[in-house]
Amino acid sequence: MLASDVRLRPSSPRRIALLAATALLAGAALAAAAEVKLFRAASRDDFLAGSFDGISLDPLGALALASRIERLAAIDEPFVFDAAAHPEGWVVGTGNDGRVLLVERDGAVRTLFDAAEPEVFAVWADADGTVYAGASPGAKVYRLAPGEAAPEVVFTAPEATYVWDLARDAGGRLLIATGLPGRLYALAADGGAELLLDSRDRHLRTIAPLPGGDLLLGTAGQGLVLRMSPGGRVRTLHDAPHPEVLAFAVAGDGSAYVALLASEASLVDLSAGGPNRGQGQNGDGEGEGDEQPAVTIAPQGQLTVGSRGAGFTGPRSVLLRLDPSGTAEEIWAFAEETVHALLLHGDALWIGTGEEGRLYRYADQRMVLEHTLEARQITALVAPREDDGGPVVLTTNGAALYHLPGGAVGRGTYSSPVLDAGQVARFGGFFWQGSLPPGSRLELAFRSGMAAEPDATWTDWLPGAEEGEREIGLGDLPAGRYVQWRATLHGRDGEGPRLLRTELSYRQLNLRPVIKSFEVLDPGKILVPSNFNPQSQTFEPWSPSREGIFTTLKSGDGNAEPRLKELWKKGYLTLRWQAEDANEDALRYDLAFRPERDAALAGDDGWLPMAADLEDSWYSFDATVLPDGTYRFRLAVSDRAAEPADGDLEAFKLSPPVIVDHTPPELGEVRRDGDRLVVAVRDRLSPLRDAVYSIDGGEWQRVTTADGLLDGRREELRLSVPGGSRLVLLRLTDAAHNVVTFDLSTATER
pLDDT tens figures, 546-556: 444 433 333 34
Contact 80/396 with Cβ under 8 angstroms? yes
Please check the confidence at residue 129 and state whether its pLDDT lies above 90. Answer: yes
pLDDT confidence of residue 219: 96
The DSSP secondary-structure symbol of 43 reads: S
pLDDT confidence of residue 669: 93
pLDDT confidence of residue 4: 45
- Three-state DSSP class for residue 17: helix
Per-residue pLDDT band at 312 (split at 50, 70, 90): low
Please check the confidence at residue 737 and state whether its pLDDT lies above 60. Answer: yes
If you average pLDDT over residues 573-579, what whole number do you get? 94
pLDDT confidence of residue 326: 84
Cα distances (Å, whole numbers) of residue 470 to 25, 388, 410, 464:
19, 38, 21, 10
Closest CA to 165 of 221, 216, 89: 216
Per-residue pLDDT band at 562 (split at 50, 70, 90): low
Q: pLDDT tens across 220-268, in order? A: 999 999 999 999 999 999 999 889 999 999 999 999 999 999 755 466 6
The Cα 93–Cα 118 span in angstroms is: 11
514-660 CATH: 2.60.40.10
Q: Where are the domains of the chain?
A: 2-66+411-508, 70-403, 514-660, 666-749
Contact 634/654 with Cβ under 8 angstroms? yes
Cα distances (Å, whole numbers) of residue 76 to 33, 72, 101, 144, 356:
54, 13, 10, 22, 21
What is the CA 161 to chain-centroid distance, rounded?
A: 37
Alpha helices in 582-725 (DSSP H): 598-601
The Cα 450–Cα 457 span in angstroms is: 8
User: Furthest-apart CA pair in the chain: how many Å?
Assistant: 130
If you average pLDDT over residues 571-579, what whole number do you get? 93
The Cα 61–Cα 499 span in angstroms is: 9
Residues 6+ apart with CB under 8 A from 349: 249, 257, 342, 343, 361, 362, 363
Pick the CATH number of 2-66+411-508 from 3.30.70, 3.40.50, 3.30.750, 2.60.120: 2.60.120
666-749 has the same fold as 70-403: no
User: Which of 386-390, 621-625, 724-728 shows the lowest per-residue confidence on average (mean pLDDT)?
Assistant: 386-390
Please check the confidence at residue 17 and state whether its pLDDT lies above 60. Answer: no
Residues 6+ apart with CB under 8 A from 514: 579, 580, 581, 582, 651
If you average pLDDT over residues 660-674, what whole number do you get? 92
pLDDT confidence of residue 646: 63
pLDDT confidence of residue 600: 56
* 256 φ, ψ (degrees, to nearest 5): -145, 145
The Cα 184–Cα 577 span in angstroms is: 70
Contact 413/498 with Cβ under 8 angstroms? no
Pick the CATH number of 666-749 from 3.40.50.300, 2.60.40.380, 2.102.10.10, 2.40.50.140: 2.60.40.380
pLDDT confidence of residue 19: 38
Instruction: State the CB neighbour count (10 A cutoff) for residue 650.
Output: 13
Q: pLDDT tens across 689-699, in order? A: 999 999 999 99
The Cα 291–Cα 148 span in angstroms is: 35
| pTM of the predicted structure, to 2 decimals | 0.70
Alpha helices in 274-414 (DSSP H): none
If you average pLDDT over residues 119-134, what whole number do you get? 97
Contact 264/303 with Cβ under 8 angstroms? no
pLDDT confidence of residue 704: 92
If you average pLDDT over residues 454-474, what whole number do you get? 87
Cα distances (Å, whole numbers) of residue 681 to 15, 704, 715:
80, 13, 6
Q: pLDDT tens across 648-659, in order? A: 899 999 999 999
Please check the confidence at residue 273 and state whether its pLDDT lies above 50. Answer: no
Per-residue pLDDT band at 10 (split at 50, 70, 90): very low
337 vs 534, higher pLDDT = 337
Class of 70-403 in CATH: mainly beta
